[in-house]
Amino acid sequence: MSSDPEPKTFQKQIEDIYFERDRTRGVEGSLLWFVEEVGELVRAIRRQEPENLEEEFADVYAWLATLASLHGVDLDALGRAKYGKGCPRCRETPCSCP
């Protein structure tokens, strides 16, 4: 009996789709796209445009994943390492820091 392959992380999915293009564009070019998408997200939040929020959050997430991949950083592992035991300071969930 074969086991199911490990599901792809979002970051891996973005790598499969765009990594060659992103590597060619480089960190600086990808960073500019990321900042542009963050600006679009800020605009959607400030204008209270709920129809745009999901799209802009997804775009920011995808460009963050791209930048992490270009730096060889695994976002899932990093998130688990820093926040897997709760708040990094007090280690509680929810955070009980003053």
Q: What is the CATH number of the domain that holds 58?
A: 1.10.287.1080
* Model confidence at 48: pLDDT above 70: yes
- Domain count for the chain: 1
pTM: 0.87
Q: How confident is the model at residue 98 (pLDDT cuts 50, 70, 90)?
A: very high
5 lies in some domain? no
Domain that holds residue 28: 10-83
Distance of alpha carbon 76 from alpha carbon 94, whole angstroms: 20
89 lies in some domain? no
45 lies in some domain? yes
31 lies in some domain? yes
Can you tell me the mean pLDDT for 45-68?
A: 97
